[in-house]
A = this chain, B = another copy of it.
Amino acid sequence: MKRKICFPITSRAYYGRSQLLIRKLHAHPGVDLKLMLGGSILLDKYSRHIADDIAAGGFDIEASLFNVIEGGNHVAMAKTACLTALEFTNSLFTASPDVVVICGDRFEQLAIAMAAAYLNISIAHIEGGDVTGSIDESVRHAITKLAHLHFVTNADAHRRVLAMGEDPQYVFHAGSLDVELAAHVRTTITSEQVNALGVGHDIDVERPYLMVVQHPVTTEADNRAHLETTLKVVSSFDLPTIWFWPNPDAGTGEMADMLRHMRERHPELTAHMRFITNVPAADFVALLAHASCLVGNSSAGIKECSYLGTPVVNIGNRQQGRLAGPHVTHSSYDAEDLGAAIATQLAHGRYPASDLYHRPNTSDVIAETLASSRLYTQKRFYE
C-alpha cells in the first residue's frame, strides 16, 4: 500500500520553496500525496492565482480551509493559528495519513504540528535547527520537539537538532529546498513581466536595481517606524527599486498602511519604486539573481543569495543568529547605519557562490526518505 503523505501549504513562500519536493512526491510510485491548503495561500491579496495553479497541477487537494483572521496583530495571529489547528485536525483525522510534512517556522505550522501530534501521526519537519529572531525562533524548535523526521539545511542546524535530544538516525542533512530551487530554475525575467505585476513605476531589469523584502518582526513593536526608515534610506539612493509587500504576520497592517500612505501622500519618496505583492518562485529567484543588492530581513537574503552571490543588507533581528555567508552585511534599524551598509554593498558588487546551504538533490533525498523511512510515533529523548 502506498504511503499517504499530507502536505499542508499555508503561504506562497512555502509553496514556492517546496515545489520541487511536491512534484517529486506526486510522481513517486510509493506515495499518495495529499495537499492541504490554508492560511494566506487561499487569499487573493497575498497569493493571487497560486491556489489555482496548484489545483491545475493535477495534485490531490484534500482540503481548502479559510482560516486567516483579520487584524494583522498578535491576537489575530494567535487566533489564526488556533483556528488553523482546529480545522486541520478534522482534515488530518479524515485523511489519516502516515506522515504530515511541516515546513519551516511559520506560526500556523506549529499549530498544525500540534494537531498532528495529538492525532498520533508521524511528523516530518523541514528546516529545523536554524536560529533566528522573531517568534519563528521559538516556533521552529517547538516543532522539532514534536517531529519524528528532521531535514536540516546546514551543519549548524544539524548540531542543534541533535543537542535537543533527537535521534541521529532520523536527522538528515539534506540542504535547503530554496537554494536547490535557486540553483535549478532558469534565472531570467523581462522588464515587461515585472511591470505587469503590482503597482508603481516601471522597472528596467537590464539596469541596476535594488530589491526590498522587509517582513514584520512579531516580537517587536516598531515595525512601522522601522519600515519607514528603510523606505526613506532606500529612496535616497535614487535607484529603481522592486519592493515586495510584507507577509501577513502580526504587524503587517501598520506596515502596509505606511506604504499606502507614502504612495498617496509622498509620491516623491516612491518615485523609483514598484510595489509587488508576489511573484512565482522562479521569477523571484531571477529578480534576486540580478539585483544589485537585497535589502530587508527575508531568509532569502541569507539562503538563496548565498548561492546566487547577491549582496545583501540584512536589517534588524528577524534573522538574528542564522548562519550567514560573507555576502551578508548586517545593519541596525538606524538610518545612518542602514545607508552605510547599502552603500558598502553597492560598492562591493556580487560575491562568489557558496554551498553553505546547498546540497545537490535536496528534494530527491527528502522525497525518498519520506517514502521509505521507518515511521514511529512514540518519541524518546536521545542522550
The residue that A89 contacts in the complex, of B64, B82, B89, with Cβ under 8 A, is: B82
> Nearest residue in B to A378 (C-beta to C-beta)?
B219
Closest to A162 in B: B163
State whether B69 touches A115 (Cβ < 8 A): no
* Chain B residue, CB-CB nearest to A263: B199
CB of A93 closer than 8 Å to a CB of B = yes
Residues of B within 8 Å of A138, CB to CB, are 117, 145-146, 379
Instruction: From known contacts A131-B381, A321-B380, A378-B137, infer whether A82 and B82 are also in contact, taking CB-CB under 8 Å.
Output: yes
User: With A74-B120, A135-B117, A163-B163 in contact, is A85–B85 under 8 Å at CB?
Assistant: yes
Candidates B70, B82, B86, B219; contact of A115 at CB < 8 Å: B82
A119-140, CB under 8 A of B: which get 1 and which 0? 1100000000001011101110
Q: Choose one: B42, B63, B74, B145; the contact of A141 (CB below 8 Å).
A: B145
Set of chain B residues within 8 Å of A64, measured between Cβ atoms:
94
Residue A351 at the B interface, CB < 8 A? no
B-side contacts of A68, CB under 8 Å: 69-71
Q: Is A176 an interface residue (CB 8 A)?
A: no
- From residue A349, how far is it (CB to closest CB) to chain B in Å? 33
B66 touches A79 (CB 8 A): yes
Contact of A164 among B69, B117, B143, B165 (CB under 8 A): B165
A85 → B minimal CB distance (Å): 4
Q: Does A257 contact B (CB under 8 A)?
A: yes
Q: Provide the residues of chain B in CB contact with A191, threshold 8 Å.
A: none
Question: Within 8 Å CB of A250, what residues of B?
Answer: 118
Q: Are B120 and A110 in contact (CB under 8 A)?
A: no
A83 to B69, CA, bound (A): 10
Q: Does A344 sit at the interface, judged by CB under 8 A? A: no
A383 contacts across to B, CB distance below 8 A: 160, 163
Q: A12-56, CB under 8 A of B: which get 1 and which 0? A: 000000000000000000000000000000111100000000000
Interface size counted on chain A using CB atoms at 8 A? 73
CA of A146 to CA of B78, assembled, Å: 14
A170 at the interface (CB under 8 A from B): no
A305 to B133, CA, bound (A): 43
Interface residue? A218 (CB, 8 A): yes
> A284: CB under 8 A from chain B?
no
Shortest C-beta distance, A378 to chain B (Å), equals 5
Question: Within 8 Å CB of A320, what residues of B?
Answer: 380
- Bound complex: CA of A165 vs CA of B129, how far in Å? 11
Q: Contacts A75-B66, A253-B44, A378-B219: A165 and B141 contacting too (C-beta < 8 A)? A: yes
Q: Does A202 lie at the interface of the complex (its beta carbon under 8 Å from any beta carbon of B)?
A: no
- A317 interface contact, C-beta 8 A: yes
Q: A93 to B75, Cβ gap below 8 A?
A: yes
Give 9 new A-B contacts, CB below 8 A, not counting A68-B70, A75-B93: A64-B94, A78-B93, A81-B115, A82-B89, A87-B90, A114-B142, A138-B379, A141-B145, A163-B383
